[in-house]
Amino acid sequence: MKLYSNVFGEGAPFIILHGFLGMGDNWKTLGRKIAEQGFQVHLLDQRNHGRSPHNDNFNYSIMADDLEVYCQKSQLKNISLIGHSMGGKTAMLFAVNYPKAVKNLIVADIGPKYYPLHHRDILDGLSSLDFDVLKSRGEVDQELSKYVQDMGVRMFLMKNLYWKEKGKLALRINLDALIKNASEIGTELSNDKSFQGNTLFLKGEKSNYILKEDEVRIKNQFPNSLLTEIPGAGHWLHAENPTDFLSNVLEFVKN
């Protein structure tokens, strides 16, 4: 599968993987700032997201292989790799399966453990959208608000909207495949897998995705890892505190 990417900058390759229901465009501002520091930044849309192809098959093994194909076709070696949330799970598995490809691994607010499904309200809300009836972004927002109270989350979800044709909105994500495979999102990284390379885990101070008791497992599977907390941020740490997020990332990849 040929993943869609937005590439800018010159220098060492730096790949960024978005989270569930996101897309590479979510990372444009941070990606440009990283590129300014002498990197060639690749913002990827993972399968069934953004502008990448839709496919019924969806799990981390397949998404890690998608990334490997992308690196081969783009002739990328010794990459720095950021993955946030779902993207972090893809990034961890990729590093484990293709360790020689990864120079620096950065995992944003997710651990290798199993996470129970917690996107049901969001998926129900997106499923409720009837684009034969809803003719504006305002109307979509109103419908979504019945399922998703948080305006920030709704704004994030609505980045998936586009005009499929004149007067007809649609979603870029492959919603059917994502609902069918929703249980895959929380899958754990198998306990017997590990990555020996340079790894930075970043967690939001207000997030509960990485708990104190998760740190032993992280250290076992990623023995050469650091864990740093981003102050004042929740799960969307790169959006909620981009300054500290960026400075930690740059300090890590430059050392």
Q: Mind telling me the catalytic residues? A: 85, 235
- Residue of 38, 100, 115, 80 lying closest to 199 (CA atoms): 80
Tell me how far apart the alpha carbons of residues 195 and 83 are, in angstroms, rounded to a whole number.
Answer: 15
- Residue of 14, 48, 57, 17 lying closest to 32 (CA atoms): 14
Tell me how far apart the alpha carbons of residues 73 and 219 are, in angstroms, rounded to a whole number.
Answer: 33
Tell me how far apart the alpha carbons of residues 238 and 209 are, in angstroms, rounded to a whole number.
Answer: 15
Give, in order, the Cα–Cα distances in Å from 110 to each of 88, 160, 174, 230: 6, 23, 23, 13
